[in-house]
């Protein structure tokens, strides 16, 4: 079934997509979910609800509304408002005793919870935010793990990242990381969190699983997404930078553009010299969110205690391919991928300098050479693989991103 | 209410139409007749009074209406500051008078009483009046804190001897008298019954370059003095451009962002001459003169005398001075920066401004200001900016301290590209970059090129929101370098009046140490007071003084002075804010409220800050 945006079919389509997977969940346990307002958590929530699970959402209010208001908006976006009755909300604080809620409520929460999916995470890469990231991803574990013990949960599932293996590892195995060398504070905090969870769960005899997705983009069939970083950010950057020069060409006779060799060629393409330097040849490991959900649901239903699962793509995507996709999609030429360090004396045009700044945090992931072992995942998901990142998928994803103004006008 | 009356009632009474701050000229009749009534501000007040039957058509009213040649200069000035068009009020005034005469109205003639005859004998027949078309225009100041008072006479002396004679005359006849500069006092000190002595004719400026001094008469406005000083290669520490220099010292002392280096109060002058309450003269430098250098933390109700001249300090400047804007995510970090700079003597002028200030100063219209404030806070992530004026060594030092900043070129691009900034999608990316390292985009070598490409800054673009008939003037105006030069803008401060464009404002001003906790606490409390009384409010500015030991902090309350309920609330809020300052003054021993400085502006800053 083809899913059109905002159509009445959206809900039916969503349920249909996940239906076969949901059927494999036998006991429909009540799941307590953290991070339900995030990109991955919300998709998991939608799928679990559609599959008949009762879900207790743990979270907090923020400037965009109460927890319930934010989740309600998400249900609307997924087109599954009628499942709201299967949801319960608890505004909690992981850092406070009893999650910051009254004892009576805490007891009810413990009694009601059968499994926990801990998806809440701060995904910032910024070293400047080290304390905040660690507070969110590591310090908060004490509260949630204590809750897992008190609730005597049947399973604790932790959504981590494939990149906990560390920066200098070639083969990333489905086992705990002992690396001390990470690309950023996010990876570091997730690796530490995994180790804490594993040790705690083993000590307290709580069955646990760790699910490690690589870089996740929108739905491969509809292009819909709730988050537009990672894969999207370079494309958004090129689009906005190109608009600056297109505007100059249109309204100012391209006075500034000419200075930097930027022009519209005979075929109507914008020629925008953009040399992207990558440290070494490599590729990007990306999976669509629909694959993430399908695989995660399967893992949750059938996980082995202590199992670690890589949700990665055996088909890597080179930045050159994305550049070619984008050339066609945005009608922009001049993007050149160069491996190795740029010479200090290379003169860069303003667009290159700006793009370079934008890319800095993502650069290591664009030319990644890590290989991810997927034995555990393949076993549990029946060798279900994410699709190759084709132009069709790229086009759908970017069209949706532009339609919702890169997330600004989703709700 | 017709449009003209609405405009008249919204005149901000800042007296900016009395100075040529745009280089477009000043109302000819005002320059000739000097009474405020002959300037656009006076005509606005007069028209409002006529339309609301507070006064009738008098002989002077005819003269005032007739002397306006509808040249439109006031439209340029008032639109620049407040987005208002006074010319239609000038026309309405003329029409009112014409209709009155056509309908057989009787022109009111106010005869001279004995006192007025005596006054005229002292100052000349042209320079004193009891005609209500004149007196009404002196009945209130620029705030609504005090109630209007209608004076009996308005007098414009030209010499200190005339002032002395007037004082003696008024004493003898038990007539209260009040000195008025350009009526910029906020607390009713420039309005009263009895006689108003308007000093605006006394505009002498005498430079003593050998001694780095300029002697100014009490009718000289800060803008005009700065202009004359700059022509000779000097700078003065100037307050509001329309404020008269002597009156400004008298009332509160001169303060500006340059006070970081040039100081406040007695730092700004060497000597001053006064006419005392008995009509005798004294100079501050006289051994037997009253000690005006002292300071008492009490509200003074009485003036120590009439300042008839002041010897103001001149300061040098170098040809490598420029201005920069250093952005900060928090008030805390901005305070740490200005304190550090001030202690290290980096920069000539320093000041923290909030997003409200900067967006209002830069934007050509109210609508634009509100949109730009949103861009500064939510897109650029800049709730606070520190303005720094300094020579190339100071600016280089700030770079070496690791702070990214908007230099003069970037500032010009931002300023003249404001209309593009509002719709710039690429700012979303900038925000993302700032997440990693605040304002790191400013480190991009060719960011200025990119910004210029993205915003296409130009006087034409900047003027696109301006009324079409005024657009050519504004395009030409913004082609002038000084209009986007941070040094010039800080020296002349012509933008600051824009702060009252949306609504008039009441500043709460205090002196206190640069203690981040204390400032943030007071900032919060001022906000809570305003919220309690449902008054619009915002952080104003902070300027360090005395090598970073203290600072001047302004918090602003905005109100509509045509709304009686809002006036009631602003009075309550103002009183509560002052009470709060008093409490902190006692509690800390270091906080000083600005209202106490009134009439003590000649004091030594050390006595004010540390006694």
How many other C-beta atoms can be found within 10 angstroms of the C-beta atom of residue B517? 9
- Hey, of B429, B460, B464, which one would you mutate to test binding to chain A, going by the most A CBs within 10 A of its CB? B429
* Contact between chains at A354 and B447 (C-beta distance less than 8 A): yes
- Domain spans of chain A? 9-223+284-315+368-387, 232-282+318-364
In this complex, is the C-beta atom of A257 within 8 Å of any C-beta atom belonging to chain B? yes
Q: What is the pLDDT of residue A289?
A: 98
Q: What angle do CA A272, A274, A276 make, to 5 degrees?
A: 160
In this complex, is the C-beta atom of A130 within 8 Å of any C-beta atom belonging to chain B? no
Stretch A231-249: mean pLDDT, rounded?
92
**Interface size between A and B, measured as CB pairs under 8 A:** 68
Name, in order, each residue with C-beta under 8 angstroms of A147's C-beta and a sequence gap of 6 or more.
A99, A106, A109, A110, A113, A116
Q: How close is the nearest chain B Cα to the Cα of A351, in Å?
A: 7
Q: How close is the nearest chain B Cα to the Cα of A240, in Å?
A: 5
Digit-coded pLDDT (tens) for A63-81: 889 999 999 999 999 999 9
Q: What angle do CA A95, A98, A99 make, to 5 degrees?
A: 45
DSSP state of A62: B
In this complex, is the C-beta atom of A333 within 8 Å of any C-beta atom belonging to chain B? no
Digit-coded pLDDT (tens) for A27-67: 688 999 999 999 999 999 999 999 999 999 999 999 889 99
Class of domain A9-223+284-315+368-387: alpha beta
Residue B101 pLDDT exceeds 60: yes
Digit-coded pLDDT (tens) for B445-490: 889 999 999 999 999 999 999 999 999 999 999 999 999 999 999 9
Find residues 216-235 of chain A whose CB sits inside 8 Å of chain B. Answer: 233
DSSP string, A328-362: HHHTEEEEEEEESPPPTT----HHHHHHHHHHTTT
In this complex, is the C-beta atom of B450 within 8 Å of any C-beta atom belonging to chain A? yes
CB B238 within 8 A of CB B329: no
- Hey, of A133, A233, A354, A405, which one would you mutate to test binding to chain B, going by the most B CBs within 10 A of its CB? A354
CB B275 within 8 A of CB B222: no
CATH 3.30.43.10 residue ranges in chain B? 114-198
Q: How close is the nearest chain B Cα to the Cα of A118, in Å?
A: 25
Q: Which two tokens stand for residue A69?
A: 């208001």
Q: What is the pLDDT of residue A5?
A: 35
CB contacts of A357 in chain B (<8 Å) are 433, 440-441, 444
Gap between the Cα atoms of B359 and B375, Å rounded? 9
Q: Which of B361, B323, B372 is nearest to B491 (CA)?
A: B323
End-to-end CA gap in chain B: 52
How many other C-beta atoms can be found within 10 angstroms of the C-beta atom of residue B109? 9
Better-scored residue on pLDDT, B192 or B399: B399
CA pseudo-torsion sign B582, B290, B188, B205:
negative
Digit-coded pLDDT (tens) for B396-437: 999 999 999 999 999 999 999 999 998 888 887 777 776 677
> Which of A124, A259, A357 is closest, CB to CB, to B440?
A357
Q: Which of A204, A87, A202, A228 is nearest to A150 (CA)?
A: A204
Residue A8 pLDDT exceeds 50: no
* Contact between chains at B436 and A361 (C-beta distance less than 8 A): yes
In this complex, is the C-beta atom of B447 within 8 Å of any C-beta atom belonging to chain A? yes
Compute CA distances A148 → A18, A92, A195, A339, B552, whole Å. Answer: 28, 14, 16, 47, 54
Q: What is the pLDDT of residue A167?
A: 86
CA–chain centroid gap for B401, Å, is 33
CB contacts of B452 in chain A (<8 Å) are 256
Q: Which two tokens stand for residue B599?
A: 């009439």
Residue A247: closest C-alpha in chain B: B454
CB contacts of A256 in chain B (<8 Å) are 449, 452-453
In this complex, is the C-beta atom of A64 within 8 Å of any C-beta atom belonging to chain B? no
Q: Of A122-126, A143-147, A339-343, which range is least confident?
A: A339-343
Is residue A230 very low, low, confident or very high in pLDDT (cuts 50, 70, 90)? confident
Count of positions (residues) in chain A: 411
Q: What is the CATH number of domain B114-198?
A: 3.30.43.10
Q: How close is the nearest chain B Cα to the Cα of A230, in Å?
A: 12
CB contacts of A236 in chain B (<8 Å) are 428-429
Query: Could you give the percent of chain A with pLDDT greater than 70?
Result: 92
Find residues 456-515 of chain B whose CB sits inside 8 Å of chain A. Answer: 456
> Which of B426, B440, B452 is closest, CB to CB, to A240?
B426
CB contacts of B426 in chain A (<8 Å) are 240-241, 243-244
* Contact between chains at B450 and A244 (C-beta distance less than 8 A): yes
Count of positions (residues) in chain B: 611
CB contacts of A125 in chain B (<8 Å) are 436
In this complex, is the C-beta atom of A245 within 8 Å of any C-beta atom belonging to chain B? yes
Digit-coded pLDDT (tens) for A252-310: 899 999 999 999 999 999 999 999 988 888 899 999 999 999 999 999 999 999 999 99
Q: How close is the nearest chain B Cα to the Cα of A346, in Å?
A: 13
CB contacts of A360 in chain B (<8 Å) are 436
Q: Which two tokens stand for residue A5?
A: 């945006």
Digit-coded pLDDT (tens) for B482-491: 999 999 999 9
* Contact between chains at A350 and B426 (C-beta distance less than 8 A): no
Which residues on adjacent β-strands are paired with residue B26?
none
Q: How close is the nearest chain A Cα to the Cα of B413, in Å?
A: 14
CB contacts of B428 in chain A (<8 Å) are 236, 240, 406, 408
Q: What is the pLDDT of residue A28?
A: 82
Mean pLDDT of chain A: 90
Q: What is the pLDDT of residue A343?
A: 67
In this complex, is the C-beta atom of A82 within 8 Å of any C-beta atom belonging to chain B? no
Is residue A313 very low, low, confident or very high in pLDDT (cuts 50, 70, 90)? very high
In this complex, is the C-beta atom of B435 within 8 Å of any C-beta atom belonging to chain A? yes
In this complex, is the C-beta atom of A128 within 8 Å of any C-beta atom belonging to chain B? yes
Q: Is the ipTM of this complex over 0.90?
A: no
* Contact between chains at B454 and A128 (C-beta distance less than 8 A): no
Beta strands (DSSP E) in A269-401 are 270-278, 286-288, 307-311, 332-339, 371-372
Gap between the Cα atoms of B412 and B40, Å rounded? 31
Helix (H, G, I), strand (E, B) or coil at A118: strand
Q: What is the pLDDT of residue A381?
A: 95
Gap between the Cα atoms of B15 and B184, Å rounded? 8
Backbone angles phi, psi at B347, to 5 degrees: 95, 145
In this complex, is the C-beta atom of A342 within 8 Å of any C-beta atom belonging to chain B? no
In this complex, is the C-beta atom of A248 within 8 Å of any C-beta atom belonging to chain B? yes
Longest Cα separation, chain A? 72
Q: How close is the nearest chain A Cα to the Cα of B445, in Å?
A: 8
Q: Which of A271, A351, A349, A286 is nearest to A322 (CA)?
A: A286
Q: Which long-range contacts (CB under 8 A, 24 or more apart) does B443-446 make?
A: B443/B404, B444/A350, B444/A353, B444/A354, B444/A357, B445/A348, B445/A353, B446/A348, B446/A349, B446/A350, B446/A353
In this complex, is the C-beta atom of A124 within 8 Å of any C-beta atom belonging to chain B? yes
Residue written as tokens 């008949």?
A52
* Contact between chains at B447 and A360 (C-beta distance less than 8 A): no
Mean pLDDT of chain B: 94
Q: How close is the nearest chain A Cα to the Cα of B432, in Å?
A: 8
Is residue A18 very low, low, confident or very high in pLDDT (cuts 50, 70, 90)? very low
Q: What is the pLDDT of residue A354?
A: 86
Q: What is the pLDDT of residue B56?
A: 95
> Which of A125, A248, A360 is closest, CB to CB, to B453?
A248
Backbone angles phi, psi at B389, to 5 degrees: -110, 130
CB contacts of B432 in chain A (<8 Å) are 233, 358
Residue A2 pLDDT exceeds 50: no
Query: Could you give the percent of chain B with pLDDT greater than 70?
Result: 98
Q: What is the pLDDT of residue B188?
A: 64
């Amino acid at each position: 079934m083809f899913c059109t945006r905002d159509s009445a079919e959206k809900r039916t389509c969503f349920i249909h997509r996940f239906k076969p997977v949901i059927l494999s969940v036998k006991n429909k346990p009540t799941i307590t979910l953290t991070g339900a307002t995030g990109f991955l958590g919300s998709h998991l929530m939608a799928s679990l609800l559609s599959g008949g699970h009762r879900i207790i959402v743990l979270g907090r209010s923020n400037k965009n509304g109460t927890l319930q208001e934010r989740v309600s908006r998400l249900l609307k976006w997924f087109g599954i408002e009628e499942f709201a009755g299967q949801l319960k909300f608890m505004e909690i604080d992981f850092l406070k005793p009893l999650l910051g809620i009254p004892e009576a409520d805490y007891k009810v929460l413990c009694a009601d919870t059968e499994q926990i999916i801990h998806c809440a995470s701060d995904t910032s890469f910024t070293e400047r935010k080290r304390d905040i990231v660690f507070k969110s991803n590591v310090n908060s574990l004490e509260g949630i793990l204590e809750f897992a013990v008190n609730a005597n949960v049947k399973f604790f599932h932790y959504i981590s990242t494939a990149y906990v293996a560390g920066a200098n590892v070639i083969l990333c195995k489905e086992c705990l990381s002992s690396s001390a060398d990470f690309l950023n504070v996010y990876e570091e905090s997730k690796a530490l969190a995994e180790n804490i969870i594993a040790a705690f769960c083993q000590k307290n005899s709580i069955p646990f699983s760790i699910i490690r997705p690589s870089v996740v983009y929108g739905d491969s069939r509809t292009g819909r997404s709730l988050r537009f970083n990672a894969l999207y950010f370079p494309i958004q950057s090129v689009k906005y930078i190109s608009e600056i020069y297109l505007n100059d060409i249109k309204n100012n006779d391209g006075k500034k553009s000419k200075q930097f060799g930027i022009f519209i060629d005979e075929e109507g393409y914008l020629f925008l010299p953009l040399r992207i330097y990558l440290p070494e040849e490599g590729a990007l490991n990306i999976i669509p969110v629909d694959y993430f959900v399908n695989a995660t649901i399967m893992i949750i239903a059938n996980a082995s205690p202590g199992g670690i699962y890589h949700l990665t793509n055996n088909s890597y995507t080179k930045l050159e391919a994305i550049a070619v996709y984008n050339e066609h999609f945005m009608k922009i030429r001049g993007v050149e991928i160069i491996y190795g360090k740029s010479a200090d004396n290379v003169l860069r045009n303003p667009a290159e300098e700006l793009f370079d700044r934008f890319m800095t945090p993502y650069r290591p992931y664009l030319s990644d050479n890590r290989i991810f072992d997927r034995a555990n995942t393949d076993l549990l998901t029946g060798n279900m693989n994410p699709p190759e990142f084709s132009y069709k998928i790229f086009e759908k994803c970017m069209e949706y991103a532009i339609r919702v103004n890169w997330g600004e006008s989703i709700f | 209410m017709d449009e003209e009356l609405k405009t008249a009632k919204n005149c901000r009474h800042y007296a900016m139409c009395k100075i040529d701050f745009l280089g477009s000229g000043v109302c000819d009749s005002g320059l000739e007749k000097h009474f405020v009534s002959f300037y656009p501000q006076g005509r606005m007040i007069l028209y409002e009074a006529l339309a609301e039957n507070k006064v009738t058509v008098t002989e002077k009213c005819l003269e005032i209406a007739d002397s306006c040649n509808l040249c439109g200069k006031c439209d340029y000035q008032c639109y620049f500051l407040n987005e208002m068009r006074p010319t239609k009020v000038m026309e309405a005034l003329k029409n009112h008078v014409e209709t009155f005469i056509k309908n057989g109205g009787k022109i009111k003639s106010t005869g001279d009483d004995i006192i007025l005859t005596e006054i005229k004998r002292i100052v000349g027949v042209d320079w004193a009046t009891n005609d209500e078309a004149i007196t009404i225009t002196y009945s209130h100041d620029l705030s609504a804190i005090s109630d209007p008072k209608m004076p009996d006479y308005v007098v414009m002396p030209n010499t200190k001897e005339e002032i002395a004679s007037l004082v003696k005359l008024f004493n003898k006849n038990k007539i209260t008298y009040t000195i008025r500069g350009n009526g910029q006092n906020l607390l009713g000190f420039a309005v009263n019954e009895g006689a108003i002595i308007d000093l605006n004719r006394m505009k002498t400026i005498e430079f003593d370059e050998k001694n780095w001094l300029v002697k100014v008469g009490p009718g000289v406005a800060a803008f005009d003095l700065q202009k004359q000083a700059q022509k000779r290669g000097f700078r003065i520490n100037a307050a509001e451009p329309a404020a008269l220099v002597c009156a400004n010292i008298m009332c509160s002392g001169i303060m500006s962002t340059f006070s970081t280096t040039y100081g406040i109060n007695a730092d700004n002058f060497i000597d001053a001459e006064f006419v005392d309450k008995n009509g005798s003269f004294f100079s501050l430098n006289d051994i037997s003169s009253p000690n005006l250098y002292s300071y008492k933390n009490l509200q003074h109700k009485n003036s120590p005398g009439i300042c008839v001249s002041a010897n103001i300090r001149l300061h040098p400047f170098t040809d490598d001075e420029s201005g920069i804007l250093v952005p900060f995510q928090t008030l805390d970090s901005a305070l740490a920066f200005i304190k550090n700079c001030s202690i290290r003597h980096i920069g000539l002028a320093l000041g923290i401004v909030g997003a409200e200030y900067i967006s209002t100063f830069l934007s050509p219209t109210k609508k634009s200001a509100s949109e730009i404030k949103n861009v500064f806070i939510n897109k650029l992530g800049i709730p606070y900016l520190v303005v720094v004026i300094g020579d190339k060594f100071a600016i280089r030092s700030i770079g070496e301290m690791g702070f990214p900043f908007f230099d003069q070129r970037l500032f010009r691009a931002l300023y003249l590209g404001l209309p593009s900034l509002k719709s710039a999608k690429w700012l979303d990316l900038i925000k993302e970059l700032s997440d990693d390292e605040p304002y790191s985009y400013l480190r991009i070598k060719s960011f200025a090129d990119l910004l210029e490409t993205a915003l296409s800054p130009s006087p034409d673009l900047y003027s696109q929101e301006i009324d079409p008939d005024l657009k050519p003037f504004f395009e030409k105006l913004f082609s002038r370098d000084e209009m986007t030069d941070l040094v010039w803008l800080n020296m002349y401060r012509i933008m600051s009046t824009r702060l009252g464009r949306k609504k008039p404002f009441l500043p709460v001003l205090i002196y206190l140490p640069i203690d981040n906790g204390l400032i943030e606490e007071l900032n919060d409390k001022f906000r809570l007071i305003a919220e309690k009384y449902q008054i619009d409010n915002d952080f104003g500015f902070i300027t360090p003084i005395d090598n970073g030991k203290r600072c001047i902090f302004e918090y602003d309350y905005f109100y509509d002075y045509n709304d009686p309920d809002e006036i009631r609330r602003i009075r309550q809020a103002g009183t509560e804010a002052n009470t709060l300052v008093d409490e902190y003054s006692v509690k800390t021993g270091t906080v000083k409220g600005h209202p106490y400085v009134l009439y003590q502006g000649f004091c030594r800053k050390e006595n004010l800050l540390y006694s």
